[in-house]
Structure formats: structure tokens, C-alpha cells
Amino acid sequence: SPGSRSVYVRIARPDNLILTHGRSDEYVVKVQGVDLQYSTMQSVNYDGSAMDLCLNYNIYSKDSLLKGTYVVSVYADGREIGQTSFVLK
């Protein structure tokens, strides 16, 4: 249904470490009863139709990046709504 929503993006490095700017509860979202760390989030006003959304995650240290496959998961309303991956060479 239409209304304000929070969209969360979780980026997992090849070693399964979640990219986040903090390890506190401030960067945790509950998904199907499980607390998950997230990388970034954005509040949106959902009108009930498909919409384009772009969220950014800033890397502050190149040391935190590894070569390999990263998995990106997107969550809203307490459930996963999308997933993709990309490779850093």
C-alpha cells in the first residue's frame, strides 16, 4: 500500500563482511525476525507503482575493498525485495 517506506541496501564483500559505517544497532534492520546489518538506507514515499531508486555507499578506505564477488541485497517492509552481485577485479 502507498506510504512512507525505508529501503535498505546490504553489501557483502567476498569474505562475507558487510560494508557498513558502524557496527552498532544504528545500522541494523529486522528482516523476517532476524537482525541484519545494512550498508545504507533511504526513506521514500511509495505511491503504489514501480519506481527508480538510487542509493549510494561511500568507501572511506580502499583497504576495506577486496577483489572478488560482492552480493548486494535490497530490503523493504521486513523482507528481501531484490538481490544482485558484481565483481571487483
Cβ atoms of 20 and 9 within 8 Å: the answer is no
pTM higher than the cut 0.85 = yes
For 22-61, how does the pLDDT look when each residue is reduced to its tens digit (9 = 90+)?
877 889 999 999 999 999 999 999 998 989 999 999 988 7
* The three cell numbers locating residue 89: 577485479
Task: Report, as an integer, the average pLDDT of 3-9.
Answer: 96
Residue 18's DSSP bridge partners are 12
Task: Please report where in the chains the cell 521486513 appears, as a residue.
Answer: 78
